[in-house]
Chains A and B, each alone.
Chain A
Amino acid sequence: MNSRLQQFLPWFVLGLLALFPLVESTFYMQLLTKMLIMGIFAMSLDLLVGYTGLVSFGHAAYFGLAGYALALMTPKYEAVSLWWSLPAAIGVCALFALITGMLVLRTRGIYFIMVTLAFAQMLFFVFHDTKLGGGSDGAYIYVKPALKLGDFDLANLEKPEQFYWLALFLMAATYLLLHRVLGSSFGRALLGIKVNEHRMRALGFPVFRYQLASFTLSGALAGIAGYLAAVQYGFVNPEILSWHQSGAVLMMVILGGMGTLYGSVIGACVFVLLQEVLSNQAWFGVAAKHWQLAMGIFIILVALYLPQGLAGLAQKFRSKPVTEVADE
């Protein structure tokens, strides 16, 4: 009974989310879209942090790179086709992750955190200090990408609900992809590396190659999120590459619970929602300007009382009925 509920729950939630545009306003739909995009971003980082044991503090590099890739690929007053611009943006991120991965994966622990941060900062200054992407002002994407099949419009991304459905589809697809990959021999080897890298090597696993594959996949998936975020705002600037962004996504993963995938999505949703609520001036007045303070307190409380994140809370509730049944 319980496991069946567990099986159907994700599909039920997905169904509810798909129906959301029929009943609600554009504002909430856009907020939800942002949550879904950040969910993809957080899942991509969870692959590294929660499943490979690599704490990256430069994940915004891939998110931002995909956004800039879209901005640079989009002609000024024309739509670019999503069919090739999305794969191209993902490809650029994968390539950048492959190259940086070969270098950063030679370090471990605190050094890994510092070197990933350094690479992200380098990319930040490339876009901040050169004319490539409009410098510190950023660049506009005036026309959203077109999603056509021949001459037929599959979706008009200018319409918020259709863009919302695309984000929902890609979030579900990312989840399913990662779920399958992590259940495979490859995924088990990654977990083994996270738990005991030394022993994996002694068992004959080429650890570096596995880590590099994970790092590349993670960068590529972050690219999906960055692409979608650029489409949503129609605008990119160096801020999307900044270490604040890398820190935010790391907080989403920790908040949700590392190594659970769905926890990352929950973490992303809660983070985005809290950010929205706490910075609402109508509700919090002057305090709204300092929403980071309240957010910080919340994250400290979660870290103290829910070391396994919000997903740990869900597991607590889930395990209760099981023990009750066992007691009878």
Chain B
Amino acid sequence: MSDNTVSGESILRIRGLTKRFGGLVAVSNVSLDLHVGEVHVVIGPNGAGKTTLTNLLSGDLPPTSGEVMFEDRNIAGCTSDHISRLGIGRSYQKTNIFLPFTVFENCRLAAQSRTPHALRVFQPAEGYAEINRRAEEAMAAAGLSHRAGRVAATLSHGEQRQLEIAMCLATQPRVLLLDEPLAGMGPHESQRMVELIKKLTADHAIMLIEHDMDAVFALAHRLTVMVNGEVLESGTPAEVRSSPAVQLAYLGGEELLHD
């Protein structure tokens, strides 16, 4: 059911991914593919296992079984720092930044993670032009350049969400796992975030978890619906929209997926 639209050049192939917490199966036999140039949106009611799925892919949690193939390597069970260095970046549903640091330092630190300068312990941290440039690019991409000197704790909620994405971008990932980037944002900020994700689609493979249906249909190339840890339906937005199973189980007859 889920594999019929998959072409050959997927960058991340997930097969039979399962996570059990004791008796609870949070993620059950999930298979999906991510492609560069595509946004794969995962939707589903609260508790469907979307964030757990993200945690399994980013290494925050080890899967119970199944495989995650990243460029012909199984990375299931690798540590999160290892997976990040391979080129898979993630943002968090709950803002997860360095609150006492400035916006620039948050991004600089993220960019620093890509260059092993740790041994040069007598060089001032700000002395690397390449790292500074990447940090500035990431801030510019997320629309935060004008806040560079501000302490992260003093930013608005929406700006903190933007910083979350900027830090992720500063690590120059090829796969982006975005866990509800629009959560708690105003309409104006949401619109900007949607534009940013659209722009990033060109050279990234993106998995997006989102509740905002306007954003979902503005961005999705592929759509996967999860219920109770399982994939209920997966395909193009049009296919999913017309699926009777989705209409029944997830939408309960509501008019969420109308044009």
Contact = CB atoms under 8 A, between A and B. Distances in A.
B15 interface: no
Interface in B58-97: 58, 60, 79-82, 84-85, 90, 92, 96-97
A156 interface: no
Interface string A236-261: 00000000000000000000000000
B113 A210 contact: no
A220 to B, nearest CB: 13
Nearest to B110: A203
B23 interface: no
B215 interface: no
Given A188-B105, A192-B98, A195-B98, A203 B128 contact: no
Interface residues of B, number: 35
B118 A196 contact: no
B118 A189 contact: yes
Contacts of A202: 58, 60, 80-81, 84, 90, 92, 96
Interface string A182-214: 011111110110011011111111110010010
Given A202-B90, A204-B84, A195 B99 contact: yes
Contacts of B188: none
Contact of A186 (B99, B114, B121): B121
Interface residues of A, number: 25
B124 A183 contact: yes
Contact of B81 (A185, A188, A191, A204): A204
B98 A201 contact: no
Contacts of A186: 117-121
A181 interface: yes
A189 B110 CA distance: 10
A320 interface: no
Nearest to A217: B121
Nearest to B167: A203
Interface in A169-184: 180-181, 183-184
Contacts of B123: 184-185
Contacts of B119: 186
B196 to A, nearest CB: 19
Contacts of A188: 105, 108-109, 112, 125
List the 10 closest A-B pairs by CB distance, nearest first: A204-B84, A204-B113, A204-B85, A188-B125, A203-B113, A185-B117, A186-B121, A185-B125, A201-B81, A181-B121
Interface of A: 180-181, 183-189, 191-192, 195-196, 198-207, 210, 213
5 contacts: A185-B123, A195-B99, A199-B96, A199-B97, A203-B171
